[in-house]
Amino acid sequence: MAYTCRNRLQRIIDIQSITLEHTVKGVTQEHVYNTLIYPIYRISRRTYYNYLSSNAKADLKKLESNKAKQMALFN
């Protein structure tokens, strides 16, 4: 479960980074979705906007800290 969740969070962070990189230059999110995100990731527009509203970096940090705590139990 954690491995799949970590991959999904990393994919969300990648998509957010691509979007931020291009919207700073004045390109719309719709254009970024149509030209860069959809051809590569094959996600729906609704999923794309859900990914943009997600706080994936904080969730990934929490996941990693929980994993570190679990590993400490065995040491």
pLDDT tens by residue, 49-70: 999 999 999 998 988 887 776 6
In angstroms, the first-to-last Cα distance of the chain is 22
Q: Residue 54: what residue type?
A: S
pLDDT at 75: 60
pLDDT tens digits for range 1-46: 455 788 999 999 999 999 999 999 999 999 999 999 999 999 999 9
pLDDT at 4: 79
Rounded CA gap, 73 and 75, in Å? Answer: 6
Band of the pLDDT at 71, cuts 50, 70, 90?
Answer: low
pLDDT at 63: 85
